[in-house]
Structure 1
Amino acid sequence: MSDFILSQWLIVIAMIADLVSFQFKRKSKIVSCLCFSGVIISCHFALLEQCTAALLMLLAAFRYFVTIFSHSKRLLVFFLLLNTLAMMFTFSGGLSLLSFAGSTVQTIAAFCQHDRQLRQLMLFGTSIWLINNILVDSPAAIVMELLFIGSNLIGYYRHYNFPLTSTSLKSMVFK
């Protein structure tokens, strides 16, 4: 099996964790799924020889794990510095800058104390990663980011705009 095909299968595994993540309400469960997914996505990028993206996703997995326990602004700054160093040491052009931008937005998101802010920033960061994955030409990663955005929007809608409960359905029908 080629490295490319293996990388695409790894994304399928990561997709499952990503889809599940934003259906949780508790931030700790969301970031636990993202931690697992980050390790798998890091391997995906390593197989595609995208060193900056691979290292940033590995840092992201560690970052998600840390944010289960702490939202310290000092840790946020620490991870932003780590992202910068990772990008500087693995820089290989525009894709390095793009993955750095996506990772930076998602780092800020991970340190938000509330899931609502996390969801909003993750939408923006994921959109940047989507562009990166289009340019890397990874079909499974493109689908993963699109599904991740969709899952995030569904979860956001369910938890914040109009959760479909029996009470809300009755109010819609009997209005």
Structure 2
Amino acid sequence: MPDISVSFALSQLLAALAFAGGIIAFQQRERAGMLKFWFVSALLNASHFAVLGQYEAALFVGLTAVRFLVAALSPRQRWMYCFLALSTLLIVLSYNNPLNLLPYLAAIVGTVGSFQKNVVVVRLLMAVGATAWIIHNLLVGSPVAVLMELAFLGSNLVGYVRSRKYAAN
């Protein structure tokens, strides 16, 4: 049996709690409630990355958490530009290897997606962001985070298919 460190186990527990928060968010009927659960989920996910020592990813997910909270309270387009600028500033200040580009890509497309009105565009951009996180999480060796993003990507795709069937009828 492989030796699992306490910090790795804690990181995976935090990722599992983030996963649960994301699932609860998907079940919310109101946009603000959904975004508030995503805020909690993202905070837990950021903590998971910090425990793994992936500080740049933790910063990007922490910024995403703040973005969810701001979008829940004030969904104005100007906030999108603020979060795009903050994400760009964060990559400029924290870049130390190509792995950092994946959280940046996820943050940029997630930010643009969060402030779109067309649900197809939102889903497409969120799928791109989830894919970037899946690749990142595979590369840093976080299996629960990989499963979480795969579940979110799958749920997004199911929602897309359901919405297309509804629109066709």
Q: Same fold (TM over 0.5)?
A: yes
CA 1:23–1:150: 2 relative to 1, 3 Å = farther
State the match for 1:134 in structure 2: 138
Matched, 1:5 2:9: yes
After superposition, residues 39-58 of structure 1 pair within 5 angstroms as: 39-58=43-62
Q: How does 1:9-158 map to 2 (within 5 A)?
A: 9-113=13-117, 115-158=119-162
CA distance in 1 between counterparts of 2:149 and 2:51 reads 18
Q: Secondary structure at the match of 1:68?
A: helix
For these two proteins, the number of residue pairs brought into alignment is 163
The AA in structure 2 aligned to 1:162 is: K
Distance 2:30 2:134 in 1: 25
Greater RCO between the two (CA within 8 Å, min separation 6)?
Answer: 1
1:128-163, CA deviations, whole angstroms, 9 ceiling, x for partnerless residues? 1111101111111111111111122233334x1336
Pairwise CA distance, 1:19? 2.2
**RMSD, matched Cα:** 1.9
Structure-2 change in CA distance of 1:53 and 1:95 (3 Å): same
Hey, what's the Cα distance between the residues in 2 that align with 1:55 and 1:81? 14
Q: Which has the larger radius of gyration?
A: 1
- The offset of 1:33, in angstroms, is 2.0
Structure 2 gaps, min length 5 = none
Unaligned runs of 5+ in 1: 169-175
- Deviation, structure 1 residue 109: 1.2
Change in Cα spacing, 1:114 to 1:70, as seen in structure 2 (3 Å) is farther
Q: Is the 8 A contact 1:102 1:126 kept in 2?
A: yes
Deviation at 1:114, TM superposition (A): 5.1
- Structure 2 partner of 1:161: 164
Change (3 A) 1:22 1:117: farther
TM-score, normalisation: structure 1:
0.84
Q: Which residue of 2 aligns with 1:172?
A: none
